[in-house]
Structure 1
Amino acid sequence: MTTPPIALSCGEPAGIGLELAEKAWTVLRDELPFFLIADPDHLPGSVPHHIIQSPAEAARAMATGLPILPHPFFGAATPGHPDPENAEGVIETIARGADLAMSGAAGALCTLPIHKKALKDGADFPWPGHTEYLAYLGGVSRVVMMLASPQLRVVPTTIHIPLARVPAALTPDLLADTIRITADALTNRFAIARPRLAVAGLNPHAGEGGAMGEEDAQTIAPVIAEMVAEGFDVTGPWPADTMFHAAARTRYDVAICAYHDQALIPIKTLDFDRGVNVTLGLPFIRTSPDHGTAFDIAGQGIANPSSTIEALRLAHHMARTP
């Protein structure tokens, strides 16, 4: 059975996203089919493109040009200068891509970077970002962010909150829910029959028996024991400073971390250019490059497409997983 093409939403047209889409096509044109949902007038034009009317046309079009599923925008695409008139278009292309992925017309959705302030200024966008909006579109209340590269997969249990709020936010229910969603996704989206999950401690040395904090023993360890009793292959809490060297990484399939930087620093240090953001728990596959709009280099032709290429490859791989 042929895997449907990947939908790529254009993101903020004043950023580097459209340049990355064109560069990705030059690398992937003979490898996997995808199509860009965008206003054709916004494209930099460094590669040929083909207007398509449906995702089914993307595979044939890929050979000779970047397939574009056209979506009209009201503003111009001026590199480095977001136009509030484009906010509605950005939001609509995300929703359109999600609809195509949920219907099966697209194998997955890959999203190029958005600029949250531009969406709030232009359309009063009420969600904190891409992930929360996609959860709303998918009709789910809880999703998990995973960062993946060929060297490491990490999941931050708490995400974009101040470090001072992490201990209170890291509740047993949140941690258990994160473990369940992550294990389910690794089984069903990555074909890992019995995923191994390693949970990082919150405090230095995972609390060192309470000498450096009680959260590891009182909050994290009981959840791990509960999940083991349910049949999950989960271990910890482990001291985070010894979890990410080469030998340690062979012992697990994903590291469940307590907070944002604990997860993102190791993966960005190990594989900065190829890290991919994957949203787990949605009723469709969603990946994205792990970077922002980069207004400072937009329009200069120097943006690195590696993360976008890897995001499309991973989406395609996940879509093909039985």
Structure 2
Amino acid sequence: MKNRQKPLAITMGDPSGIGPEIVVASLSKSSDGLKNIVFGCPKVMERAVKLSQSDLVVRVLDQIDEAEFSPGVIEVLQTSCFDTLPPFGSVNAVCGKAAYDAIVQSIRHAVAGRVSGIVTAPIHKEALSAAGISYPGHTEILADLGGAERVAMLLGNDEVRTVLVTVHCSLSEAIKRGDYAAQIAAIRLAHEGAIALGFKNPRVAVAGLNPHAGEGGLFGREEIEIISPAIKAAQKEGINVSGPWPGDTVFMQARKGQFDIVVAQYHDQGLIPVKYMGLEKGVNITLGLPFVRTSPDHGTAFDIAGQGIADSASLETAIKYANQLVRSKMKDTA
């Protein structure tokens, strides 16, 4: 299986953040023979190697098929090149553009089937905006350029997993976007995502939008008019889904083992419970794409960038999950 598996694309992230150094730290550890290609600026990655005091050597690629995957070497497909390396810890339009270019190239190679999946290091949304890039984050870039009709964010660790109905938007906008189509799409993607993670008949719980899941309509009617009909429709499709459950207790029940995955209505409802258990344990998976994509569940950490103290555990987890999902996908299509 490993011999058939094409390399993973790992984007460098924002050059002013911790992305490059945690990429180096992750690749410095045993990869069990797995193949990875970093998409980004070779000079940025060389600085990260020096910062990490790693013995790895950066090898620059013009094409993916030039990769040799020799021990002790980081293969870097050049998607940008800095004349002067940017400072650590600050929002920089040039860094936003470089991070974006790495993502775009990784998507193109994934769509073409030249890489088995994508693992993205953290980017900074303000840097993207400063570069004139209108996307609010990775998920939207991947959905648009990856050709996906609808995607969902799955964030999880070994104890709790959640899929979001809405992602990067204001709370008022999330309420508008959480219509019937968004609800049933998130339920389906949660079901499919949990199966890919190894759950044979996943128990999907759907969180309510309002306090106490609306309390029978006293605190809002979204549960009655939108969420419940979507749950019933998904049940008719054979999905083992229940709810809507109160958002303040559903994650506790999932952690106790009552549910395998929770559909959350908006960004913070789903991400706070997962991140509270530790950023180093979490992974972000984008569902609905024609290729595998994972990432760590933390940001660029400008406050510690360049100090050589960033923890690479979450990125290592993202790489592990990406390989697991790729193998699952290969098995299904064999």
Q: 1:314 to 1:88 in 2, by over 3 A?
A: same
| Residue number in structure 2 paired with 1:292 | 299
Q: Which amino acid aligns with 1:35?
A: I
| Residue number in structure 2 paired with 1:37 | 39
CA apart distance, 1:253: 2.1
Whether 1:73 and 2:43 are equivalent positions in the alignment is: no
Q: Relative contact order (C-alpha < 8 Å, sep 6+): which is higher? A: 1
TM (norm. structure 1) is 0.90
| Residue number in structure 1 paired with 2:325 | 318
TM (norm. structure 2) is 0.87
| Residue number in structure 2 paired with 1:104 | 113
Deviations, residues 293-320 of structure 1 (Å, cap 9, x unaligned): 1111110011111111111111111111
Q: Which amino acid aligns with 2:238?
A: G
| Residue number in structure 1 paired with 2:220 | 213
Task: Give percent identity, aligned residues only.
Answer: 37
CA apart distance, 1:162: 2.9
CA distance in 2 between counterparts of 1:266 and 1:111 reads 22
Equivalent of 2:204, from 194, 197, 202? 197
Whether 1:136 and 2:138 are equivalent positions in the alignment is: no
Residues 271-310 of structure 1 mapped to structure 2, 5 A cutoff: 271-310=278-317
CA distance in 2 between counterparts of 1:248 and 1:150 reads 9
| 8 Å Cα contact 2:194-2:202 kept in structure 1 | yes
Q: 1:222 to 1:87 in 2, by over 3 A?
A: closer
Q: Which amino acid aligns with 1:91?
A: Y
**Where in structure 2 are there 5+ consecutive unaligned residues?**
none
Aligned pairs, how many? 319
Q: Secondary structure of the residue that 2:326 maps to in structure 1?
A: helix
Whether 1:49 and 2:82 are equivalent positions in the alignment is: no
Q: Secondary structure of the residue that 2:10 maps to in structure 1?
A: strand
Q: 1:203 to 1:289 in 2, by over 3 A?
A: same
| 8 Å Cα contact 1:151-1:271 kept in structure 2 | no
| 8 Å Cα contact 1:156-1:258 kept in structure 2 | yes
Whether 1:263 and 2:270 are equivalent positions in the alignment is: yes
Q: What RMSD, in angstroms, separates the aligned Cα atoms of the two structures?
A: 2.2
Q: Secondary structure of the residue that 1:145 maps to in structure 2?
A: strand
CA apart distance, 1:174: 1.1
| Residue number in structure 1 paired with 2:135 | 127
Q: Which amino acid aligns with 2:176?
A: A
**Where in structure 1 are there 5+ consecutive unaligned residues?**
none
Whether 1:179 and 2:181 are equivalent positions in the alignment is: no
